[in-house]
A and B are shown apart, each in its own frame.
Chain A
Amino acid sequence: MSPPYTAVLIIPTGVGAAVGGYAGDALPVARAMATVADQLITHPNVLNGAQLYWPLTNALYVEGYGLDRFAAGRWGLRPVHRNRVGLLLDRAIPDDLRIRHLQAADAARATLGLAMTDYVTTDAPLGVELRTAASGATWGTIQQPDSLLRAAETALAAGATALAVVANFPDDDPADVTLQAYRHGKGVDPLAGAEAVISHLVVRQFQVPCAHAPALAPLPLDSTLAPKSAAEELGHTFLPCVLAGLSRAPQFLGPHRGDRPQADDLWAEQVDVAVVPADAWGGSAVLSLARRGVPMIAVADNTTTLAVPPDALGLRAIRATSYAEAIGLMAAHKAGVSIEALGPTLTPLQPLAVPVLQPHRP
């Protein structure tokens, strides 16, 4: 019997990925990949589609900082049947939006049956600031990280085992060029980098699953909205996908926990393949997995704003034009079928030269 085939799907957030750079538009890739992989480890940017999501029983929803630690071999993943999700709300969220988010959480409890603790409001506005770097990637900082961490500590003390954060983001200017491009399926998500910083802070500090949904005032109706961006304009919050993902997100194992090993625990050495956009190989998780010798598939048509292909770093890659091809390569790999055998020609075996032994002279 073969061990479970474990795949990691990485699509960095905030880098304008042609697939996965918008509103949950890499979820179809994850759904297809999860039919080939026995276990698919991926992250919120891939699985979150605002009010849309798709429960994949064999997918592990792992926040980016935790994924980096997992890939480095420092943390393991322990699947769970459920988490009790704590909800952290930025004090800066306007009253009407705060109520919308609480209603979304109550809806997730009533309609999906999710377990949640009571919510926590941060003791100060978090002060989210957005930034676009020279590479074109979006980043962000927050002015009051300690307030976020105090709120997280309160929710954990109340019994939360995973944390959903809703931070207030600067109001969008509908005429802003970057926003216009994003709504039309081009350019870079201006919020994504800051969102990642928020969840990274919580995961680094508390080693629990965490994901973020921004609080944003609704935008004016745009009849030319791109399908890839449409999921974020269905309603008042992006929270439902986050709550659904966190409700079954694996817990992190590592030096911070003294648990005894369990059969379902996952560590980096169990990863069989990783799939990454072809020009975004400079992230921590990708570098760690490549260094471990994990077979890595580079997907060419998922372009990003970055310019870090595997050959620029001297890393070996299996090249695929598309995710369709990558999934085919995974199927062959899982079946133990040589990729060369799938092509129209196969060169004959050649003799290997055996080194000639020199006579031993005392």
Chain B
Amino acid sequence: MTTQFLTLTLDLATAGDDWVTTIEAALRRHGEPLRWAITTVVGQQATVEAVVTVEGA
């Protein structure tokens, strides 16, 4: 297992109302979410900073 830092952008207009589930689903494309937060919002674009774990990496 490794821990990896990443950022991603989320369009709030299309993210539904359960942002926790939406963000964690987006992070799961990169690994298992460990810690994350939306750190900036500009208009409808939210930046998420996160650390995920990746098995076998």
Contacts and interface: CB of A to CB of B under 8 A. Distances in A.
B53 A133 contact: no
A133 B5 contact: yes
Contacts of A140: 51
Q: Label chain A's interface by main secondary structure.
A: mixed
A27 B36 CA distance: 24
B53 A284 contact: no
Most buried by A among B4, B36, B53: B53
Interface string B11-42: 01000011110010000000000111111110
B37 to A, nearest CB: 5
Determine the interface band of chain B, counting residues with CB < 8 A from chain A. Answer: 20 to 34
A139 B20 contact: no
B34 A200 contact: yes
Interface residues of A, number: 36
Nearest to B32: A204
A287 B20 contact: yes
B38 A282 contact: yes
Interface stretch (A243-251, A261-269, A304-312): A304-312
Interface string A194-214: 001100110010000000000
Given A196-B35, A282-B46, A288 B20 contact: yes
A131 B4 CA distance: 11
B3 A145 contact: yes
A133 B39 contact: yes
Given A197-B3, A312-B41, A313-B12, A141 B51 contact: yes
Contact of A142 (B3, B37, B41): B3
A139 B48 CA distance: 12
Interface string A144-174: 0110010000000000000000000000000
B8 to A, nearest CB: 12
A17 interface: no
A291 interface: yes
Nearest to A284: B20
Contacts of B36: 284
Contact of B37 (A143, A146, A283, A312): A283
B28 to A, nearest CB: 14
Contacts of A72: 20
A307 B35 CA distance: 18
A197 to B, nearest CB: 5
Interface string A67-88: 0000010000000000000000
Interface of A: 12, 64-65, 72, 131, 133-135, 137, 139-143, 145-146, 149, 196-197, 200-201, 204, 280-284, 287-288, 291, 306-308, 312-314
